[in-house]
Amino acid sequence: MTISAAIPLVEQAQATVERRWPIGVEVLPGGAHARVWAPDAERVELVAEPEGRATVLGDEGNGYFSGTVPELEAGGLYRFRLDGKEMLYPDPISRFQPEGSHGASQLVDPHRFAWTDQGWQGRAIKGQVIYEMHIGTFTPEGTWDAALAELPRLADLGVTVLELMPVSEFPGRFGWGYDGVNLFAPTRLYGDDDAMRRFVNEAHRLGLAVILDVVYNHFGPDGNYLKCFAKDYFTDRYKNDWGEAINFDGPNSEPVREFFLTNAAFWIEEYHLDGLRLDATQSINDGSEAQGKPHILTEISRAVRQAAGGRATIVVGENEPQHASMVKPAEEGGCGLCAIWNDDLHHSAMVALTGRMEAYYTDYRGTPQEFVSAMKYGFLYQGQWYRWQRKRRGMPAFGVPSPAFVSFLQNHDQIANSARGLRLHALTTPGRLRAMTALFLLGPGTPMLFQGQEFAASTPFLYFADHKPDLAGLVEKGRAEFLAQFPSIVGPAMQAALPKPHAEDSFTRCKLDHRERESNAAVWALHRDLLRLRREDPVFAAQCTGGLDGAVLGEEAFVLRFFGEEGDDRLLLVNLGRDLTLTVLAEPLLAPPLDGAWTVLWSSEEPAYGGCGTAAVEQPDGAWRLPGHAALVLGPAHGFSTESDDEGGNTTPVIVVSQG
């Protein structure tokens, strides 16, 4: 079935109706048209509220029921009745739930919004900087409109892609969004459906792409009525850590696949989104390939591109075992995703910055060689034995384009897994963090920031989920058991101090205070200038696969050499330890350009970033001195000079091509 074309369907009266989507209730001239998959029912009625008018839908004979509903207009409320029973159910394809996931569905007219982004061409993965955000805590108000007002600052920072944590309707007053149950309905907690459209429209005006984190591996435990319509949405053939597994490959799985493919295309077309981030793809089980059919992830990536109608799109996967096949083209046996999160690099950085090697950090040392290898090859584990899980981890990723690896120092999961939700700046020293930030923002992968990271937000990011009391207790217990993999959290004192996920304070404490952008201006300047250097310097901007090499210089120091096309190479020197003097320079990657020398183009120790200043690297006797807890960018001395940009108090050296 072609998702992106109008779909002719025959209703019970044998009249042809042109629908946009194969399922759901749509506004059509003269009312609405409904189509729902309910193979377990013999009779399906759409009940308009509050009047209670019922319209019997025709049985198509294939598990689907459909029909026109003349009385239902845009803005109207409705639910479904199955087999004449008293219970009424929300629409499985509801576009909006004004009273929450247990209430009536609302008919939405997606064409009433006046988009102004007709010239927007989207963004491909190369050259992007991703910013992960949670709408409910991004501002004190926690709404689309309040978040919209902050977008110009993100564009000025150098962000190019906004990655929204899930926004599909979920029960309760607050939550991360991964317990969504109405996958087509943006939650009422952040505003109405047009508020989300305003946000995307403004983002595009500012040059920001928007991708949405979607959960296609499970549904939330409360408010999910899909099983009432069809038990075959789910399967017990696979184990799932968060609920029942989705039936992508068993009996009656075609309508289930249609549901998710429609959802993927829906967000791209009706909300003009620029792509998706797919949560926990390792729990999306699909054996269709053994039957000669594409994997559901392959079909999702195709559906996204098709729905975009020529706009560039981005599909990012989270995959805990780091299967490089996620980002290989479909014709090469892959899933065709654009990028995949690089957990290996994050884990190595955390060990280097905090010294902690417990739980899933066990198999990392945070050594210079790990960083050199990660910059060159992406994943550190590509099939080797992984002690923590007592099995092999990953698969060969050689040749995977550098932009396909999403690099991050912080994300929603990793911050919350520090038990107290502490940001990384609270767990390490300022100099080390500045140096590591330079590595991540200048490295060849696709960098991702988590909201507030750019100004060292003092607010934590905790796990929060508002559930009814009996479920809240189970969630609290499950969260404590998960964190118990960290020996430092097992003790009674830490267990007693764990924030309760259902406590409103666990949610409100996480709301950003954007005034800290000014009070922590040095951190903001560090991120802004590094992203500017990444964007404007042709060598860093190239993101060439195989375009760099690296070498270990000391116990905590290393060098990366980025090779330019015109011999205008760059050196990135990173020293996470004490001051290091190199009296023997038997390392070819340190060799200067032909007939030239190196000059410092950027330093993490600039006073504008809170640093203590930078001494000369090359000493009179020829030795090199690398400052401790610092990162330096060196370029050819010939043909370059440094200037300072006085606007906004920025005194950071900027590369300027000489005209003489």
Distances (CA, A) of 215 to 96, 124, 219, 479: 18, 22, 8, 19
Across residues 254-280, what is the average pLDDT? 98
Which residues face 446 on adjacent strands? Answer: 406
Q: Residue 73 has which token pair? A: 């207009």
Helix (H, G, I), strand (E, B) or coil at 23: coil
- Contact at 8 Å (CB) between 345 and 407? yes
* Strand pairing category for 391-392 and 598-603: unpaired
How far apart, in whole angstroms, are the C-alpha atoms of residue 395 and residue 379? 9
Q: pLDDT at residue 425 above 60?
A: yes
Task: Read off the amino acid at residue 221.
Answer: P
Q: Residue 450 has which token pair? A: 């988590």
Those residues whose C-beta lies under 8 Å from the C-beta of residue 230, and which sit 6 or more positions away, are 37, 38, 39, 40, 63, 252, 255
Distances (CA, A) of 179 to 201, 406, 558: 27, 24, 43
Q: pLDDT at residue 648 above 90?
A: no
Which residues face 632 on adjacent strands? Answer: 573, 603
Average pLDDT, the chain: 93
Task: Read off the amino acid at residue 381.
Answer: Y
Phi, psi of 286 (to 5 degrees): -150, 115
Q: pLDDT at residue 427 above 60?
A: yes
Dmax over Cα atoms in the chain, in whole Å? Answer: 93
The predicted pLDDT at position 131 comes to 99
* CA triple 381-382-385, angle to 5 deg: 60
Residue 165 is given by DSSP the state P
Q: What are the pLDDT digits (tens) for 442-470? A: 999 999 999 999 999 999 999 999 999 99
Q: Is the peptide bond before 50 cis (omega within 30 degrees of 0)?
A: yes
Helix (H, G, I), strand (E, B) or coil at 442: helix
The predicted pLDDT at position 541 comes to 96
Q: What are the pLDDT digits (tens) for 527-566? A: 999 999 999 999 999 998 889 999 999 999 999 999 998 8
For the chain, what's the residue count? 660
Any idea which of 182-191, 290-299, 407-416 has the lowest mean pLDDT? 290-299
**Which residues are catalytically annotated?**
279, 318
Those residues whose C-beta lies under 8 Å from the C-beta of residue 458, and which sit 6 or more positions away, are 423, 513, 516
Q: What are the pLDDT digits (tens) for 566-624? A: 889 999 999 999 999 999 999 999 999 887 899 999 999 999 999 999 999 999 999 99
The predicted pLDDT at position 30 comes to 84
Which residues face 618 on adjacent strands? Answer: 624
The predicted pLDDT at position 290 comes to 84
Q: What are the pLDDT digits (tens) for 111-152? A: 999 999 999 999 999 999 999 999 999 999 999 999 999 999
How far apart, in whole angstroms, are the C-alpha atoms of residue 143 and residue 191? 6
Task: Read off the amino acid at residue 96.
Answer: F
**H or E element that contains 89:** strand 88-89
Helix (H, G, I), strand (E, B) or coil at 276: strand
The predicted pLDDT at position 565 comes to 87
Q: Residue 573 has which token pair? A: 């020197």
Helix (H, G, I), strand (E, B) or coil at 4: coil
Q: pLDDT at residue 5 above 50?
A: no
* Strand pairing category for 88-89 and 77-82: antiparallel
How far apart, in whole angstroms, are the C-alpha atoms of residue 554 and residue 241? 42
**H or E element that contains 643:** strand 640-644
Q: Can you tell me which residue has the tokens 């993490």? A: 604
How far apart, in whole angstroms, are the C-alpha atoms of residue 51 and residue 458? 50
- Contact at 8 Å (CB) between 243 and 179? no
Q: pLDDT at residue 512 above 70?
A: yes
Across residues 89-95, what is the average pLDDT? 98
Q: Residue 322 has which token pair? A: 């780091």
The predicted pLDDT at position 646 comes to 42
Q: Which of 558, 524, 513 is nearest to 425 (CA)?
A: 524
Q: pLDDT at residue 10 above 80?
A: no
Q: Which domains does the chain have, with CATH numbers?
A: 7-106 (2.60.40.10), 130-223+256-463+503-526 (3.20.20.80), 547-657 (2.60.40.1180)
Give the predicted TM-score (pTM) of the model.
0.95
Instruction: Concatenate the DSSP letters of all residues of 593-646 into one string.
Output: PTT--EEEEEETT-GGGT------SB-TTS-EEEPTTEEEEEEESTTEEEEE--
Task: Read off the amino acid at residue 74.
Answer: A
* Strand pairing category for 77-82 and 58-59: unpaired
How far apart, in whole angstroms, are the C-alpha atoms of residue 578 and residue 629? 7
Helix (H, G, I), strand (E, B) or coil at 651: coil
* Strand pairing category for 209-214 and 161-164: parallel
Distances (CA, A) of 10 to 5, 113, 256, 258: 16, 29, 21, 18
Q: pLDDT at residue 388 above 70?
A: yes
Q: pLDDT at residue 655 above 60?
A: no
How far apart, in whole angstroms, are the C-alpha atoms of residue 144 and residue 268? 18
Q: Which of 480, 482, 31, 38 is nearest to 228 (CA)?
A: 38
Those residues whose C-beta lies under 8 Å from the C-beta of residue 81, and which sit 6 or more positions away, are 44, 45, 47, 54, 87, 88, 89
Helix (H, G, I), strand (E, B) or coil at 553: strand
Helix (H, G, I), strand (E, B) or coil at 431: helix
The predicted pLDDT at position 16 comes to 62
The predicted pLDDT at position 217 comes to 97
Residue 407 banded pLDDT, cuts 50, 70, 90: very high
- Contact at 8 Å (CB) between 580 and 587? no
